[in-house]
Amino acid sequence: MRYVSTRGQAPVRDFSGVLLAGLAEDGGLYVPETWPALTHADWRALRGLPYAELAARLLALFVGDCLPFATLQAVCRDAYAGFGHPAVAPLVQLDHDLFACELFHGPTLSFKDMALQVLGRLFDHVLAERDARVAIVGATSGDTGSAAIEAFAGRDRADIVILHPDGCVSEVQRRQMTTVLAPNVANVAVAGSFDDCQDLVKAMFADAPFRRELSLSAVNSINWGRIAAQIPYYAAAALALGAPDREVAFAVPTGNFGNVLSAWAARRMGLPIVRLVVGSNRNDILSRFLASNDMSIRGVEPSLSPSMDIQVSSNFERLLFELLDRDPAATADVMARFRAEGRMPVPQAAWRRATTLFAGHAVDDAATLAEIRRLHAAGGFLADPHSAIGIAAARALPCPGVPTVAMATAHPAKFPDAIERAVGNRPPLPSRLADLYDRVEEYQRAPKDLMAIEALVRATVLRNAA
């Protein structure tokens, strides 16, 4: 399996290459050169498998000959063994034709664990084969940082340094990062905003000598490995509801477009997915695009669903590439104009094609709280604000006769303030995190200064290099 950049000017790579590279050198995103397609019989044969086995079989299509299948099986078994539910990603029925797929049973209680637990282990194998080490750097406004730290803590061949805006992440989120005391983990609280943190990470990657010296790598949602590792839960849900002999729809609370892109990929591989509902909060650029081909950037406004407080959905470029018939020059041109003008000029025919599958629905904070309350009253299901947006969007855009699965992306205990506002009490943390508030924290503070941050990254790497 080979991968090409959506902008066509970066080297073609294999799976290991795109895993370590993250972003392509031309600024584009890696996508499979050709999509694996499964027949009706192939899909049927995957029914009823344990989650880890299903994941290994589907990932194998993307890993190609980079890793032996037995290694992939061991990686997946190990990655999901620590999840808090034996089904890994269980389906819960909410209404006649509406289901939730709980993706929050991993160690940090968000769906980011579903892919990152696999990625951490894949990095180990790929780096061992190359006898190499990398330093993973990233910025987080919440869920990504803790999931990445949990996935890479204690790994042999990677150090991980995560920047977060000092005082701007919730206490649960901060403690989930800073109480992981492995020697290859460093947390840095930057005196600045999330955007400042992200700019610092970009500046480190742009500093070519530094990037080479420390072998920087990234596991943010543009990393192809994350998209690939999210495909199995769409397959698991669809197969459980009768696919490939029955059509299904999904509703996905969306920020960077990574999660829902995996659903698109599952459909591209042959699953009968007839509708993808994109849920957004007041930061509704995707809903505006799907309603009226208006992909124009406005300011980011805070909401009850902070992991979706995003204006530019970076993974959208992968869909754009497909909508433009995989023309890299046209994709690069649209992206350049988007950056220059703040509005993405998607050709009308491409937009119309997108709307035959995708529909968008924005849910404001009041409607989010109302949905949490309604679910709680109806059957006791406790949805976090992100999950509630997916469920509310599914209700707003029903697909008659087709079961719809809303992706539940975070555990309600991660957002106790919103839950308390909606239903009057704070959900307890699952038992394995119950002592989170008593654990020792370790992190450094730093000014928003590139030299200072680079020195911290270098110190972390040197500490473990010996």
Give yes or no for residue 105 binding ligand PLP (CB under 6 A). Answer: no
- CA-wise closest residue to 65 among 14, 7, 24, 5: 14
Give yes or no for residue 140 binding ligand PLP (CB under 6 A). Answer: no
Residues binding ligand PLP: what is the number (CB under 6 A)? Answer: 16
Give yes or no for residue 235 binding ligand PLP (CB under 6 A). Answer: no
Q: What is the closest distance, in whole angstroms, from the C-beta atom of residue 427 to ligand PLP in the complex?
A: 15
Nearer to ligand PLP, 112 or 275 (CB): 112
User: Which of these ranges, 169-177, 252-260, 281-289, 365-373, lies near ligand PLP under the rule CB under 6 A?
Assistant: 252-260
Strand partners of residue 252 = 278
Nearer to ligand PLP, 91 or 330 (CB): 91
Given 10, 38, 72, 143, the residue binding ligand PLP (CB under 6 A)? 143
Give yes or no for residue 253 binding ligand PLP (CB under 6 A). Answer: yes
Nearer to ligand PLP, 38 or 103 (CB): 103
Q: ∠ CA 449-452-457 to the nearest 5 degrees?
A: 120
Give yes or no for residue 256 binding ligand PLP (CB under 6 A). Answer: yes
Give yes or no for residue 254 binding ligand PLP (CB under 6 A). Answer: yes
Given 5, 146, 221, 287, the residue binding ligand PLP (CB under 6 A)? 221
- CA-wise closest residue to 62 among 102, 38, 32, 18: 32
Give yes or no for residue 112 binding ligand PLP (CB under 6 A). Answer: yes
Give yes or no for residue 110 binding ligand PLP (CB under 6 A). Answer: yes
Measured between alpha carbons, how far is 177 from 148 in angstroms, rounded to an integer?
A: 9
Cite the DSSP H helix spans in 155-193: 171-178
Confirm whether 448 is a catalytic residue. no
Measured between alpha carbons, how far is 465 from 97 in angstroms, rounded to an integer?
A: 54
Measured between alpha carbons, how far is 277 from 359 in angstroms, rounded to an integer?
A: 5
Nearer to ligand PLP, 184 or 254 (CB): 254
User: Which of these ranges, 35-43, 247-255, 354-362, 372-380, lies near ligand PLP under the rule CB under 6 A?
Assistant: 247-255
Given 307, 331, 404, 460, the residue binding ligand PLP (CB under 6 A)? 307
| 269 alpha carbon, distance to own chain's centre | 20
Given 38, 122, 148, 410, the residue binding ligand PLP (CB under 6 A)? 410
- E strands, 89-179, in order: 91-95, 98-102, 134-139, 158-165
Q: Are strands 98-102 and 91-95 parallel, antiparallel or unpaired?
A: antiparallel
Given 178, 198, 259, 281, the residue binding ligand PLP (CB under 6 A)? 259
Q: Are strands 404-408 and 98-102 parallel, antiparallel or unpaired?
A: parallel
Encode burial over 327-343: b for 16+ CB neighbours within 10 A, e otherwise: ebebbbebbeebeeeee
> Could you tell me if 186 and 159 are in contact, meaning their C-beta atoms sit under 8 angstroms apart?
yes
Q: List the interface residues with ligand PLP, window 29-88 (CB under 6 A).
A: none
Given 255, 270, 360, 412, the residue binding ligand PLP (CB under 6 A)? 255
Which residue in this structure is represented by tokens 């690069």?
Answer: 332
Q: What is the closest distance, in whole angstroms, from the C-beta atom of residue 131 to ligand PLP in the complex?
A: 33
Give yes or no for residue 409 binding ligand PLP (CB under 6 A). Answer: yes
Q: What is the closest distance, in whole angstroms, from the C-beta atom of residue 256 to ligand PLP in the complex?
A: 3
Nearer to ligand PLP, 184 or 305 (CB): 305
Q: ∠ CA 36-249-386 to the nearest 5 degrees?
A: 105
Strand partners of residue 445 = 189
Phi then psi for residue 425, to 5 deg, are -145, 165
| DSSP code for 312 | S
- CA-wise closest residue to 297 among 258, 337, 270: 337
Which residue in this structure is represented by tokens 């730290």?
Answer: 149
Give yes or no for residue 308 binding ligand PLP (CB under 6 A). Answer: yes
Give yes or no for residue 220 binding ligand PLP (CB under 6 A). Answer: no
User: Which of these ranges, 82-90, 120-128, 248-256, 319-327, lies near ligand PLP under the rule CB under 6 A?
Assistant: 248-256
Give yes or no for residue 404 binding ligand PLP (CB under 6 A). Answer: no
The two tokens of residue 326 are 């995989």
> Could you tell me if 109 and 159 are in contact, meaning their C-beta atoms sit under 8 angstroms apart?
no
Q: Which of 112, 202, 414, 448 is catalytic?
A: 112
Q: What is the closest distance, in whole angstroms, from the C-beta atom of residue 433 to ligand PLP in the complex?
A: 16
Q: What is the closest distance, in whole angstroms, from the C-beta atom of residue 69 to ligand PLP in the complex?
A: 27
Residues annotated as part of the active site:
112
Site residues, ligand PLP (CB under 6 A):
110, 112, 143, 221, 253-259, 307-308, 386, 409-410
